[in-house]
Amino acid sequence: MIKLCTIGAGSWVQEGHMPAIREVDGIKLIAVSDVDERRVKLFQEKYGVKGYSDYNEMLAKESPDAVLVAVPHVLHAKVASQVLEAGAHVYLEKPMATNLEDAMALAQLAKKRGKMVMIGHEHRFGQGSVIARRLLESGRLGRIYHSKAEYVRRRGIPAGPTFVTKELAKGGALFDIGSHVIDLAMFLSNFPRPVKAYGRTYMNFSERREMFSNYPKTQRSNRLEVEDTALGLVTFEDGSTMFVEASWASFTKVDRRHVAVMGDKGGVDLEGNDLSFMTTVDGEFMNSQPIQGQQFLYQDIWRKFSEAVSSNLSSAPFPGTTAQQGVLEMAVMEGIYRSAERGEEVRIDVNVRELGWVDHDA
């Protein structure tokens, strides 16, 4: 039985992860830690596990095999490193870190310790994404030259300080939802190395309560200190490009999570979970959809994570986002932010050799 602990007992652990973890055989949550003692107490009452306000004490006393880390973004890399040092595997919520240097150091530490850091990008486990990845691997897309990673909400600024304060979140829509579609677009393009980025960020709705996702439930005046919208055009070493659009709030007609990958033989398009595959057959332009296209199930993700932990990572290639992949994604996001700050295109320098990149990492 895999002994699991969680660092952070916030909404996502309770609503997203806990219902799934309890369904999976072979893994058991034994303890929770959170600086908010009231949350720890409520969590303990609900799930009957041990509780701590200091996660280092929990790591020392419980010696977990794996730890779920779901704390504010600025703490991700530091907390995950401490978990690795304590000898456990990590399920780390996105974004992996808030800068490239920390992401790189975390990936190197994971390698040194022989432990896994899986980043919480769930959309690649959906049926549509799995089929799209197989189409890529079979060569049916040909040479990839462009992708689109778009996640756009209409009224969807999160309310909590974990997401909207500079101090805890560092970045806004790009880190929160852009990271998910960047992961999927890069996964479906075989993880090319980013070399340049042009980015723009916007803070249009800082004081506009009606653009927050919890409106009108709370009358509390939320103040957004990070971007509500980020755009980017990224160039990769092989000459291919990726267009990124992440927005928590915008006057658009529909909410949209969209990833498209274009190759010279075919293309895949994921509108939410719905996959389309375009190609030509005997000169005819064809557009096909699989019969299966369901949403991922969190239980499946936890099952795969557990299998990787119990096999001590020998069950490669691992289907989740690895630390190495996370580093390339962080390089893209940091490049977009740097470019937006400077107002010009920037170079991205990420040494994949330092990461110990091997083919199956892509």
Binding site for ligand NAD (CB under 6 A): 7-13, 16, 33-36, 39, 55, 70-73, 75, 93-94, 120, 122, 160, 162, 176
Per the CB < 8 A criterion, the answer to whether 76 and 69 are in contact is yes
Instruction: Give 42-47's long-range contacts (Cβ < 8 A, gap of 24+).
Output: 43/9, 43/14, 46/14, 47/18
Distance CA 56, CA 62 (A): 10
- Rounded Cα distance, 10 and 353, in Å: 36
**Locus of tokens 């369904």:** 23
Q: For ligand NAD, which is the closer residue by CB, 89 or 94?
A: 94
| 11 versus 295: smaller Cβ distance to ligand NAD | 11
Q: Least distance (Å) from ligand NAD to the CB of residue 306? A: 18
Q: What does the alpha-carbon distance between residue 88 and residue 63 come to, in Å, rounded to a whole number?
A: 8
Closer residue to ligand NAD (CB): 187 or 357:
187
Residue 169 CA to residue 190 CA, distance in Å, equals 29
Amino acid letter for position 151: Y
Q: Which is nearer to ligand NAD, 59 or 262 (CB)?
A: 59
Least CB distance to ligand NAD at residue 79 (A):
7
CA–CA distance, 147 with 268 (Å, rounded to integer)? 9
271 phi and psi angles, rounded to 5 deg: -95, 100
Contact of 32 with 5, CB cutoff 8 Å: yes
Give whichever of 18 and 261 is closer to ligand NAD, judged by the CB atom.
18
Between 5 and 135, name the residue whose CB sits nearer to ligand NAD. Answer: 5
Tell whether the torsion through CA atoms of 33, 166, 73 and 129 is positive or negative.
positive
Cα separation, 321 vs 116, whole angstroms: 10
Q: CB-wise, 38 or 360, nearer to ligand NAD?
A: 38
In the block, which residue shows the tokens 């973004």? 73
Nearer to ligand NAD by C-beta: 144 or 258? Answer: 258
Residue written as token pair 């994971």: 110
- Alpha carbons 257 and 185: distance in angstroms, whole number: 12
